[in-house]
């Protein structure tokens, strides 16, 4: 199955639509087409507490294969939690279908904004905003030319505390073929954050050609307070720039990738995109 098959296109006019949306597995080849991510949005405000779990809190949940979204935002407007708050996670979208493509979309929330759950996904020219683990899941996804904006609380100059993280990837086994790759992205905003936390032992995340401001903590990464994961995670950086990209004092398990290592993550071949994205990139 590929994107060349007949599609159902749902045109969504400018405005904010307060509703919770689920795209079921049997509704394949669906496109949501908005008028721009700053003017068209689907909005809800469930939290983990109100929806019986983080995974079910998404304003939009996609289980379908071959889903496309263009020029639209997905928002969860639940209050921004403090680190450690119980039940405050609030997902804007959960993507659990294979071969999904997001072009020019916005994802707005705080903790756990974008649940990149499972499957192969491509995000291009998107805006992703959050505070704690705001891109999480166990998908194999490429994020290209995306803006990553931390909404964590500002910290005082010289403060050492951490109050946010961009990613929490959930790869549990060496036999899984999953991971997040960020290429030609920008990372900024507020707070003092990690690039990723090892939600599961084989967590896999790469940042390449990405501009990072000084909100990134010098150590860069966190093993979820489980040193046994230091031997199994794959956290890599390649040709990044900006004040937050200094790798001198990175966590010892983080890797500064060489050309060969990085080449596996730099384009759509990472997500087998040559098999299903031909008409959309």
Report, as residue numbers or ranges, the catalytic residues: 133
Residues 230/252, Cβ–Cβ less than 8 Å: yes
Closest C-alpha among 251, 138, 118, 266 to residue 201:
138
Angle (CA) 101-168-27 rounded to 5° is: 30
3-state secondary structure the chain: CCCCCCCEEEECCCEEEECCEEECCCCCCEEEECCCCCCEEEEECCCCCCCCCHHHCCCEEECCCCCEEECCEEEECCCCCCCCCCCCCCCCEEECCCCEEEECCEEECCCCCEEECCCEEEEECCEEEECCCCEEECCEEEEECCEEEEECCCCCCCCCCCCEEEEEECCCCCCCCCEEEEECCEEEEECCEEEEEECCCCCEEEEECCEECCCECCCCEECCCCHHHHHCCEEEEECCECHHHCCCCCCCCEEECCHHHHHCCCCHHHHCHHHCCCCCC
The pairing of beta strand 30-33 with beta strand 60-62: unpaired
């Amino acid at each position: 199955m590929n994107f060349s098959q007949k599609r159902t296109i749902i045109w969504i006019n400018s405005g904010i639509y307060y509703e919770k949306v689920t795209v079921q597995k049997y509704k394949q080849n669906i496109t949501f087409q908005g008028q721009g991510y700053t003017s068209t949005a689907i909005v809800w405000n469930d939290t983990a507490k109100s929806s019986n779990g983080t995974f079910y809190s998404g304003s939009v949940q996609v289980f379908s294969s071959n889903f496309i979204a263009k020029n639209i935002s997905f928002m969860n407007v639940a209050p921004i939690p403090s680190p450690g708050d119980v039940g405050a996670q609030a997902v804007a979208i959960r993507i659990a279908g294979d071969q999904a493509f997001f072009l020019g979309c916005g994802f707005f929330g705080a903790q756990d904004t974008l649940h990149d759950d499972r499957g192969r996904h491509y995000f291009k020219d998107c805006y992703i905003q959050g505070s704690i683990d705001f891109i999480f899941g166990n998908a194999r996804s490429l994020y290209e030319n995306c803006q990553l904006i931390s909404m964590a609380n500002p910290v005082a100059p010289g403060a050492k505390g951490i109050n946010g993280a961009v990613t929490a990837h959930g790869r549990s086994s060496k036999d899984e073929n999953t991971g997040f790759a960020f290429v030609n992205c920008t990372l900024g905003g507020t707070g003092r954050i990690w690039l990723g936390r090892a939600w599961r032992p084989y967590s896999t995340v790469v940042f390449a050609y990405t501009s990072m401001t000084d909100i990134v903590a010098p150590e860069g990464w966190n093993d979820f307070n489980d040193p046994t994961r230091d031997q199994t995670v794959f956290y890599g950086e390649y040709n990044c720039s900006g004040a937050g990209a200094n790798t001198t004092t990175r966590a010892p398990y983080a890797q500064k990738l060489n050309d060969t290592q990085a080449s596996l993550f730099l384009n759509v071949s990472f997500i087998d995109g040559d098999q299903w994205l031909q008409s959309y990139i």
